């Protein structure tokens, strides 16, 4: 089964993790990420069918979770520099390349040019408007003093914009940011191609232009990888002792082991 969908956020979320800064009104850059647990629901795009996305932050563990309706969810572990995708329908967890997918979450290099432009309110919360320029991409983001992105307007067009609809501060359940223990675990990290599921290439050494062409094999932000046909992957499930020689199977946080 193939589940693939292009999110408008490939170029939209340019300020979600827009570099380090000091807290307070005098900061000259927005904070790198929220300073406390929060969950934000966003409306994606403008002038077309309404789509929603939910981002949640577990600040104590430096983890971010992205939920797209009908597509499962992705978790980015900033501290461990790992990322994984969960597909509940298939009861499967895929470990995926960290660098490529954090870029899809809107991480900018520290050198991105940012200019403070004023104040606004979005979803009832005050935020500072920042104009950004990065590798030819331009736009504006409205970000709270505690690092929550509330609105992004891209010069590329309304389809690459988003705006917060609801903001909920409060403790997040750590279990929602970890892979389910009874799911099949597959590593899709770059490496020698196994005989089982098709590999995902690592892409170029340097970061691609933000929101530009995705390097061969890299997953675009908001897209789930193509799953192998039923029966093609003889994976080891954490809930059983069965195994096969073709799949690359590894618990999250462990190095993949390939069968001889």
Give the model confidence (pLDDT) of 192-223 as tens digits. 444 443 333 333 333 332 233 332 233 333 34
- Is residue 28 within 8 A of residue 20, CB to CB? The reply is no
How far lies 216's CA from each of 12, 96, 139, 182, in Å?
21, 15, 27, 32
Q: Which two tokens stand for residue 24?
A: 């307070």
**Whether the predicted pLDDT of 91 surpasses 90:** yes
* Greater model confidence, 36 or 212: 36
Would you place residue 2 in the very low, low, confident or very high pLDDT band (cuts 50, 70, 90)? very low
DSSP state for residue 226 in the 8-state scheme: B
For the chain, where are the E strands, in sequence order? Answer: 38-44, 51-58, 63-67, 73-77, 82-87, 92-96, 113-122, 125-134, 137-143, 149-154, 162-169, 184-187
Of 125, 97, 108, 134, the C-alpha closest to 30 is 108
Using CA of residue 203, residue 75, residue 81, residue 102, what is the dihedral sign?
positive
CA 32/CA 43 separation, integer angstroms:
22
What's residue 191's pLDDT? 58
Whole-prediction pTM: 0.65
Sheet order of strands, 92-96 included: 113-122, 125-134, 137-143, 149-154, 162-169, 38-44, 51-58, 63-67, 73-77, 82-87, 92-96, 184-187
The rounded Cα 3 to chain-centroid distance in angstroms is 16
CA 16/CA 69 separation, integer angstroms:
20
User: Over the stretch 125-145, which tens digit does the pLDDT of each residue have?
Assistant: 999 999 988 778 888 889 999
**Whether the predicted pLDDT of 124 surpasses 70:** yes
What's residue 81's pLDDT? 86
Percentage of the chain exceeding pLDDT 90 = 30
DSSP state for residue 218 in the 8-state scheme: P
Q: Which two tokens stand for residue 130?
A: 């920042």
Domains and CATH numbers, the chain: 9-180 (2.50.20.10), 194-202+232-260 (no CATH)
Calculate the CA dihedral of residues 162, 166, 170, 171 and round it to 10 degrees. -60
């Amino acid at each position: 089964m193939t589940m693939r969908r292009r999110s408008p956020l490939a170029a939209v979320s340019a300020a979600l993790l827009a570099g380090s800064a000091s807290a307070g009104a005098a900061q000259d850059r927005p904070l790198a990420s929220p300073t406390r647990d929060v969950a934000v629901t966003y409306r994606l795009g403008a002038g077309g069918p309404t789509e929603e996305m939910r981002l949640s932050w577990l600040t104590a563990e430096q983890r971010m979770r992205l939920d797209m309706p009908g597509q499962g969810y992705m978790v980015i572990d900033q501290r461990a520099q790992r990322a994984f995708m969960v597909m509940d329908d298939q009861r499967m967890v895929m470990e995926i390349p960290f660098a490529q997918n954090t870029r899809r979450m809107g991480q900018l290099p520290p050198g991105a040019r940012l200019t403070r432009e004023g104040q606004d309110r979005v979803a009832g919360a005050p935020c500072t408007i920042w104009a950004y320029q990065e590798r030819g991409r331009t736009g504006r983001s409205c970000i709270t003093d505690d690092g929550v992105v509330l609105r992004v307007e891209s010069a590329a067009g309304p389809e690459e914009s988003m705006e917060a609809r609801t903001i909920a501060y409060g403790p997040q359940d750590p279990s929602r940011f970890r892979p389910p223990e009874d799911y099949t675990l597959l590593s899709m990290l770059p490496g020698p191609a196994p005989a089982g599921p098709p590999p995902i290439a690592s892409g170029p050494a340097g970061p691609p232009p933000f929101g530009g062409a995705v390097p061969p094999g890299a997953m675009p932000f908001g897209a789930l990888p193509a799953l192998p046909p039923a029966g093609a992957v003889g994976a080891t499930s954490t809930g059983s002792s069965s195994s096969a020689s073709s799949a690359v199977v590894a618990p999250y946080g462990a190095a993949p082991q390939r069968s001889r």
